[in-house]
Amino acid sequence: MPENIIQTDGLTFQYAKGRKALDNVSLNIPKGSIYGFLGPNGAGKSTTMRLLTGILAEQQPSIKLFGKPLQGQMPGVFHRIGSLVESPALYLHLSGQDNLRYIARMRNIPENKIPEVLELVDLQRDANRKAKQYSLGMKQRLAIAMALLGEPELLLLDEPVNGLDPNGMRDIRQLLVKLNKEKGITIFVSSHLLAEVERMCTHVGIISRGKLRFEGTIGQLASASGACRVQLTINDAAGWHTKLLTDHPDVLREAENQLLLELPSRNDIPAFLRKLVTAGAEVYELKVLNGLEEWFMSLINQK
């Protein structure tokens, strides 16, 4: 079993009596993973992040970091953690480099780390520009650079792509995958965007109304969503309809150059496509129509 770098055991928290923001949440974040903490706005993601970073105090001991209770490690444990939980606290009148220099001095970190983190987040060419001239995506990357200065083993990020355009989302996603693979940093990232979590994460936890509804690997998430309906744009759809019926009786509809069919799960898509192409099919497009997204929506709408 992989070592869990974060573990919560029945984590419960309430801001007001009788109203639980978190209700018996047990998380297991393996070392070396990118763990997506997924749920709609108001589900309890930010509350969890604030508890993990000590911004909020636990109401009962429930959190372990690096295998030990959080309360017994504070504040020293935060030398091993980088976090971006609230909006980036940047000095807009300072350059990106000077923002990092200020953080380095505050935390007694050697300033020779600054060029390395600027390169990691691809801001080396903009190091001397004032932060107020940065795009939102660049500000997010600068904030992540600030979190990386102390060479953390664990990175906690609350909605890091919130408000970004598709290019900005892609840049942050690629950065996090790079940090995980090249630096071995375990990343715990909250998001309300299913597609983003699915693209970059190895593990996922789904929270809704303060309760954990699912936890597992991305593969287990795909399997749990059940049957997957796909639309194929394919040359000679009528001919392939006849051929597919032998092995795939779940061809639901045929139209001009398109087939609608159901596969047992999303995990079956790659093998199915390989089989078609090997058999000589000219496939122009495969579109997943439902399955994971519908299952996710039904999950988060549970009482």
pLDDT in tens, 279-300: 888 888 888 776 567 778 777 7
> Regarding predicted confidence, which is higher, 143 or 279?
143
Domain at 291, CATH number: 3.30.70
Q: Whole domain around residue 121: which residue ranges?
A: 4-223
Domain at 143, CATH number: 3.40.50.300
Tally of domains within the chain: 2
Q: What percentage of the chain carries pLDDT values higher than 90?
A: 56
Task: Write the DSSP assignment of 65-133 as a string of letters.
Answer: ETTEESTTTTTGGGGGEEEE-SS----TTSBHHHHHHHHHHHTT--GGGHHHHHHHTT-GGGTTSBGGG
pLDDT at 263: 79
CB 117 within 8 A of CB 145: yes
pLDDT at 287: 84
Strand 283-288 to 228-234 pairing = antiparallel
d(CA 149, CA 136): 20
Integer distance in angstroms from the first to the last C-alpha of the chain?
A: 32
Q: 148 pLDDT exceeds 60?
A: yes
Same domain for 280 and 164? no
The amino acid sitting at 159 is: E
- The residues near 296 (Cβ < 8 Å, ≥ 6 apart) are 38, 194, 206, 225
Same domain for 243 and 210? no
Same domain for 177 and 56? yes
CB 4 within 8 A of CB 32: no
> Three-state DSSP class for 263?
strand
Same domain for 84 and 218? yes
> Three-state DSSP class for 59?
coil
Same domain for 175 and 60? yes
**Which of 223, 245, 269 is the last residue in one of the domains?**
223
CB 64 within 8 A of CB 70: yes
Same domain for 286 and 161? no
251: pLDDT confidence band, cut at 50, 70 and 90? low
pLDDT at 230: 81
d(CA 29, CA 201): 12
pLDDT in tens, 76-121: 898 999 999 877 789 999 999 999 999 999 989 999 999 999 999 9
Same domain for 212 and 110? yes
pLDDT at 1: 58
CB 270 within 8 A of CB 211: no
Same domain for 274 and 154? no
**Which of 223, 242, 261 is the last residue in one of the domains?**
223
Same domain for 280 and 133? no
Same domain for 260 and 201? no
d(CA 200, CA 186): 13
Same domain for 249 and 216? no
**Which of 156, 188, 223 is the last residue in one of the domains?**
223
Same domain for 241 and 119? no
The amino acid sitting at 184 is: G
